[in-house]
Amino acid sequence: AKLGLSVRPLTSQELAQVQIKQGLLVEEVGKGPAANAGIQPGDVILAVNGDQVTSITQLQEKLLPNSKNIALLVMRGDSRIYVPVKMS
């Protein structure tokens, strides 16, 4: 909710298809910090501030209440990019 995203874990079939071990698929992007940073539906969030995320709970835990900026490692197509997200 803090990011303005709807995400879900990738299925085992999706993980095999994109050849990764974990990630959270961005299903929807609403108004909020993630949209402002350019996160798009279909992106796969791999890590937050360099720490891998494998569940929605982990993602929520990485978004500390006092975080001003975070860096999301995102897989978009065949590319992996860091996307800086300004939280305030």
- Residue range 33-79, pLDDT digits in tens: 999 999 999 999 999 999 999 899 998 888 876 778 899 999 999 89
Q: SS3 for 39? A: coil
Please give the average per-residue pLDDT across 10-31, as a whole number.
Answer: 92
Block residue for tokens 């993630």: 34
User: How far apart are alpha carbons 59 and 64 in whole angstroms?
Assistant: 10
Handedness of CA 72, 59, 86, 2 (dihedral sign): positive
Which is it for the CA torsion 37, 60, 26, 48, positive or negative?
positive
State residue 36's pLDDT score: 94
Question: Is the pLDDT reported for residue 7 higher than 90?
Answer: yes
Give the whole-angstrom CA distance, residue 2 versus residue 16: 29
Looking at residue 61, its amino acid is: E
Query: Token pair 């500390």 is at which residue?
Result: 64
19 has pLDDT over 80? yes
Res. 88 pLDDT band, cuts 50 70 90: low
Q: Give pLDDT, residue 38.
A: 95
Tokens representing 51 are 């720490």
